[in-house]
């Protein structure tokens, strides 16, 4: 019996020592693997044009799908001060990159979006005033705001393309027409404010809007004690 215990002790010691040595080996390997291997390095694919995103492919549960085609209503017609080149057409009206309170023109714009990280030229194109711009300074039309917003909100953008975000207009069958981002969200203050709802329904006959005295006092399965009963 004692022999067996000794054997076990020795065996466990050897095992522990081996474990330590193995752990050290692994640390060394990890040190090597931290350094990047430029030969196998593949950069993320960069799109030539922002609209190339509409040709991108996604794999959903082993099924390859491309972004389904859709149209949106043009937004340029809906904008009050479009085209922007009506004012911003000469050198005097060059954009001011300084972050400041807008007082003379555009004083109604409160840029809440991004909590001070953005200024006008983050999204508006400096060179072509009638366009928006991507973060890579590629022009994006005002009608295709979903290409711009999706640079940060990419998960929402994917949902928008496939139908999990936004709203399909008019039909469930046939040509897809979607409501674009800026129809619902003000791009400068994207969070939608609450408002009063449509009038509540009248209380249906025989029902009470609040709990009756009996409902407060007793559980639904309890029988109401008769008046004058003992206890």
Partner 1 sequence: MNKDTTLKEKKAGVSRRKALKAFGLGATVAAGAAVASATPGKPSKVDISFDDQMGNYFQDHYKKMTKEEIKEALARLERRYKATYDVDIKVDNMPAQPGVLFGYALNISKCKGYRECVKACTETNNQSRDPEIQFIRVLEMDKGSMNMEEANHYFSDDETVPKPDKWYLPIQCHQCENPPCVKACPVEATWKEPDGITVIDYNWCIGCRMCMNACPYWARRFNWKAPSLPKEDINPVTHYLANRPREKGVVEKCFFCLQKTRKGEMPACQEACPTGARVFGNLLDPNSEIRYVLEHKNIFRLKEDLQTEPKFWYYSD
Applying CB under 8 A, which residues contact partner 1?
60-61, 63, 65, 68, 159, 162-174, 179, 184, 192, 194-205, 209
**Shorter beta-carbon distance to partner 1: residue 38 or 174:** 174
d(CA 122, CA 120): 6
Q: In the bound complex, what is the minimum distance in angstroms from residue 184's beta carbon to partner 1?
A: 7
Q: Encoding tokens for residue 46? A: 């960069």
Bridge pairing between strands 139-140 and 132-133: antiparallel
Q: Supply the DSSP symbol for 83.
A: S
**Shorter beta-carbon distance to partner 1: residue 116 or 201:** 201
d(CA 85, CA 76): 13
Torsion of CA 155, 55, 139, 72, to 10 degrees: -70
CB-based contact 66:55 (threshold 8 Å): yes
Q: In the bound complex, what is the minimum distance in angstroms from residue 219's beta carbon to partner 1?
A: 12
Q: In the bound complex, what is the minimum distance in angstroms from residue 58's beta carbon to partner 1?
A: 10
3 state SS of 142: helix
Q: In the bound complex, what is the minimum distance in angstroms from residue 78's beta carbon to partner 1?
A: 17
**Shorter beta-carbon distance to partner 1: residue 27 or 175:** 175
**Shorter beta-carbon distance to partner 1: residue 23 or 174:** 174
d(CA 80, CA 52): 29
**Shorter beta-carbon distance to partner 1: residue 53 or 111:** 53
Q: Encoding tokens for residue 106? A: 């555009």
Distance spanning both ends of the chain, measured CA to CA: 76
């Amino acid at each position: 019996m004692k022999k067996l215990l000794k054997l076990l002790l020795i065996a466990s010691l050897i095992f522990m020592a081996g474990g330590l040595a193995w752990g050290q080996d692994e640390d060394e390997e990890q040190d090597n693997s931290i350094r990047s291997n430029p030969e196998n390095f593949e950069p993320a694919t960069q799109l030539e044009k922002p609209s190339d995103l509409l040709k991108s492919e996604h794999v959903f549960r082993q099924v390859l799908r491309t972004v389904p085609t859709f149209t949106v209503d043009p937004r340029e017609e809906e904008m009050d001060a479009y085209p922007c080149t009506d004012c911003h057409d000469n050198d005097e009206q060059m954009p001011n990159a300084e972050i400041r309170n807008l007082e003379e023109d555009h004083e109604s714009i409160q840029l809440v979006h991004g909590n001070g990280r953005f200024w006008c030229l983050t999204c508006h194109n400096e060179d072509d005033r009638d366009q928006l711009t991507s973060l890579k300074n590629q022009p994006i039309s005002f009608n295709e705001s979903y290409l711009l917003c999706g640079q940060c909100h990419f998960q929402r953008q994917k949902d928008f393309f496939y139908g999990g975000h936004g709203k399909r207009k008019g039909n469930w069958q046939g040509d897809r027409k979607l409501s674009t981002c800026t129809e619902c969200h003000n791009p400068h203050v994207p969070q939608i404010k609450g408002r009063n709802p449509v009038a509540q329904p009248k209380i249906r006959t025989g029902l009470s809007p609040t709990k009756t005295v009996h409902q407060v006092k007793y559980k639904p399965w309890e029988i109401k004690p008769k008046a004058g009963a003992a206890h």
